[in-house]
Copies of this chain bind each other. A is one copy, B any other.
């Protein structure tokens, strides 16, 4: 692979001049610029971004840490971030944390060690203290879907509590009072907040929280089926089921039908996130819209504005969920 040195020799100029035409900044006479460019194409020269990065301590790449690479939620999030950044000529380096403290930390250190200009984190297992410490470092850090106390300016988050409230409220408005709830893993802030919202809606309507109608799921399809199975086994009676995300709602819809429920007549089900597939369950899933793709774009804009000093960017840190009415919730008879 040709280096800047060979280019300079072929073009008959110095290293510095070649570097200048690469970086298009300081003035170079058109004549020499042309010579250099010719030499570059002739040699098929490509700048080595590793070397650039080492020398300049800038990399034009942004590190991203997500919990998982699969799943509709993270897919939309990554896609949003990447699209915005790519359009600005930046690259993205993605790694995973698997919701485990060690792996999250390791992932973060990898990104830092790669000289990312900034990192965008969706972390779930690591403590606030760790994050606050992290922010004292040199590299700018931003957070998706996590509100770290005192670091609001660096967070893009959804009002999950409100979302949880809206979901349960929607079901209550249809006359349901026996409402089962399948939450996400409770070590995750999102899950906790959604559950809090659920409780608030219950309380606001004078419905007592029934522990027998609560199940902690895993945010996956299986969580939905297992939760429902659990309720049925324990002979609970309920006419509505609110799930803390759409995957679990899908799983429970499938399982409910297998058990002979007529949906939504005998059981109303509501989800959370509004993943694309929510339009393709049967009945079509009523759910809470989580604009995670948009939030990804916003996180990217945040780094564009703060790190790359792009002007005229308006940042919205806090997103409000809204309900999407479809067919999986019906009035109680």
Q: Which residues of A contact B (CB under 8 A)?
A: 1, 46-51, 53-54, 59, 61, 68-72, 74-76, 78-79, 82, 86, 91-96, 103, 109-110, 112-115, 137-138, 221, 250-251, 253-254, 257, 276-277, 279-282, 284
Contacts and interface: CB of A to CB of B under 8 A. Distances in A.
Nearest to A109: B46
Copies in the complex: 2
Contact of A251 (B95, B138, B280): B280
Contacts of A46: 109, 112-113
Top 3 A-B pairs ranked by shortest CB distance? A70-B75, A282-B282, A49-B113
A114 B71 contact: no
A247 to B, nearest CB: 8
B277 A250 contact: yes
A262 to B, nearest CB: 13
B138 A1 contact: yes
B279 A221 contact: yes
Given A70-B78, A254-B282, 14 more contacts: A1-B137, A48-B113, A49-B110, A68-B79, A69-B75, A70-B79, A86-B103, A91-B110, A221-B279, A221-B280, A250-B280, A254-B284, A277-B277, A280-B281
Contacts of A53: 50
Contacts of A251: 280
A277 to B, nearest CB: 5
A290 B320 CA distance: 38
A22 B203 CA distance: 57
A53 B112 CA distance: 14
A51 to B, nearest CB: 6
A95 B92 contact: yes
17 contacts: A46-B109, A48-B54, A50-B50, A50-B59, A54-B54, A68-B79, A70-B78, A82-B96, A86-B96, A86-B103, A92-B94, A94-B94, A250-B277, A251-B280, A253-B280, A257-B282, A281-B281
